[in-house]
């Protein structure tokens, strides 16, 4: 047994993994981006979207004979903060987003707003209700209200799995792409393949080092999210670990493919940003993918980060079994397998 352990410690693969881990630990900026940045970002967004009463909407009322009674009616609603001013001033405030709507001095009133802004549509409803009531309209019934405040339904609960997926993508791609290109630029790859080891061991060492840090970076973010932000994990930890591993390996494959040919940092940076930027926007990190048109939904659902985010939310928020996540896991497996196959075929060692 002791002899086997000594031979294992002396194997090229183990030595390369150890060297890569030590190299990573000597880079403070890498530790910041992998461990601290996701926590800081989730903290900032948790504060920005913290639970608080709905803020009243700001509107402008055009000056005129009807301005004062309209201002009083809007103010009495408690949900609208009106300000009276001339039309040009109101136009400027609406154009620059200082108010959500302008009530023009016509009879009946004219609502001037941008229908593409959600706050303007809300202001349209609030203003009309307040002015209609002031004109004598009575409600035929008073509806009851039920607020959704349970854990798992808040914005921060939606956000944390997206940040986790984003972190897995970023570190999975950059940890391989930059390292291989730097070694190619410094002629280290050429020296490595001349050493007494197989080429697959060098590639496996980088992947192994990535997996060493996987549990640490995921664990740090999840512990902070669960114990500080109160984010639930409804599903099993085993299912969550499998989803995380599938996502990490998928993006390791993409990172290896990106690093297969470039010879400069500028080249690999451009390819990395080209691969990641669409997923930053389209893959439902900060808001639902349903906001995008139906025409591009097939493309969005085929992206690996979309599949990873959906799978993470399925496990963490809905306690979805792995069988229900088969489509998402299939997308991740396909991206990983295809990327690995192409990268190994195209990889330039010098």
Alpha carbon distance 281, 271 (integer Å):
17
Residue 329 lies in a domain: yes
Q: Which of 21-30, 158-167, 244-253 has the lowest mean pLDDT?
A: 21-30
Asked if residue 15 and residue 157 are part of one domain, the reply reads yes
Q: Count CA within 13 A, CB hemisphere, residue 134.
A: 19
Alpha carbon distance 343, 197 (integer Å):
20
How many structural domains is the chain composed of?
A: 2
Residue 207 lies in a domain: yes
The pLDDT assigned to 329 comes to: 92
- Cβ pair 23, 178 in contact under 8 A: no
Residue 4 lies in a domain: no
- Cα 229 → chain centroid: 17
Among the candidates 105, 134, 163, a domain finishes at: 134
Residue 288 lies in a domain: yes
pLDDT in tens, 136-178: 877 666 665 555 555 666 777 888 888 888 888 887 787 777 7
pLDDT in tens, 275-298: 888 888 888 888 778 778 888 888
For residue 194, what pLDDT band results from cuts at 50, 70 and 90? low
- Span 5-29, mean pLDDT? 59
Asked if residue 92 and residue 68 are part of one domain, the reply reads yes
Domain that holds residue 64: 57-134
Residue 142 lies in a domain: no
pLDDT in tens, 31-82: 555 556 666 666 655 555 555 556 788 899 999 888 899 999 888 888 888 9
Alpha carbon distance 52, 266 (integer Å):
45
Q: Given phi > 0 = left and psi -120 to 50 = alpha, else beta, which region is 278?
A: alpha
Q: Six-digit token pair at 57?
A: 């909407």
Q: What is the DSSP letter of 194?
A: H
Asked if residue 175 and residue 124 are part of one domain, the reply reads no
For residue 182, what pLDDT band results from cuts at 50, 70 and 90? confident
The pLDDT assigned to 284 comes to: 83
Residue 277 lies in a domain: yes
Handedness of CA 61, 63, 67, 71 (dihedral sign): positive
Asked if residue 106 and residue 162 are part of one domain, the reply reads no
Q: Is the pLDDT of residue 217 over 80?
A: no
Under 8 Å CB-to-CB from 55, ≥6 apart: which residues?
Answer: none
The DSSP line for 158-193 is HHHHHHHHHHHHHHHHHHHHHHHHHHHHTTHHHHHH
Residue 140 lies in a domain: no
Q: pTM for the full model?
A: 0.68
Asked if residue 256 and residue 178 are part of one domain, the reply reads yes
Residue 143 lies in a domain: no
Decide which of 265 and 102 is more confident: 102
Decide which of 271 and 59 is more confident: 59
């Amino acid at each position: 047994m002791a002899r086997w352990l000594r031979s294992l410690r002396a194997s090229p693969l183990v030595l390369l993994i150890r060297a890569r881990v030590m190299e990573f630990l000597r880079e403070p900026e890498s530790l910041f981006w992998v461990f601290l940045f996701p926590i800081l970002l989730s903290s900032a967004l948790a504060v920005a979207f913290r639970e608080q009463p709905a803020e009243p909407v700001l509107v402008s009322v055009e000056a005129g004979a009807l301005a004062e009674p309209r201002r009083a009616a809007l103010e009495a609603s408690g949900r609208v903060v009106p300000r009276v001013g001339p039309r040009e001033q109101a136009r400027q405030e609406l154009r620059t987003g200082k108010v959500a709507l302008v009530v023009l001095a016509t009879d009946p009133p004219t609502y001037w707003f941008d229908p593409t802004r959600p706050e303007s549509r809300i202001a349209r409803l609030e203003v009309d209700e307040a002015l209609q009531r002031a004109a004598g309209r009575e409600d035929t019934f008073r509806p009851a209200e039920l607020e959704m405040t349970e854990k798992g339904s808040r914005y921060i609960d939606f956000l944390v799995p997206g940040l986790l997926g984003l972190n897995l993508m970023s570190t999975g791609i950059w940890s391989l792409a930059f390292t291989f290109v730097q070694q190619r630029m410094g002629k280290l790859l050429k020296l490595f393949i001349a050493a007494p080891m197989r080429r697959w061991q060098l590639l496996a060492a980088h992947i192994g080092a990535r997996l060493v840090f996987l549990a640490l970076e995921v664990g740090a973010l999840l512990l902070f999210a669960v114990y500080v932000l109160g984010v639930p994990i409804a599903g099993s930890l085993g299912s969550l670990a499998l989803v995380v591993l599938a996502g990490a390996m998928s993006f390791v494959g993409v990172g290896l493919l990106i690093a297969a040919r470039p010879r400069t940092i500028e080249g690999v940076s451009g390819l990395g940003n080209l691969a990641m930027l669409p997923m930053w926007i389209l893959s439902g990190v900060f808001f639902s993918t349903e906001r995008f048109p139906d025409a591009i939904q097939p493309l969005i659902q085929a992206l690996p980060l979309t599949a990873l985010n959906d799978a993470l939310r399925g496990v963490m928020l809905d306690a979805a079994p792995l069988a229900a996540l088969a489509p998402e896991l299939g997308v991740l497996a396909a991206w990983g397998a295809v990327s690995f196959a192409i990268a190994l075929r195209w990889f330039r060692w010098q």
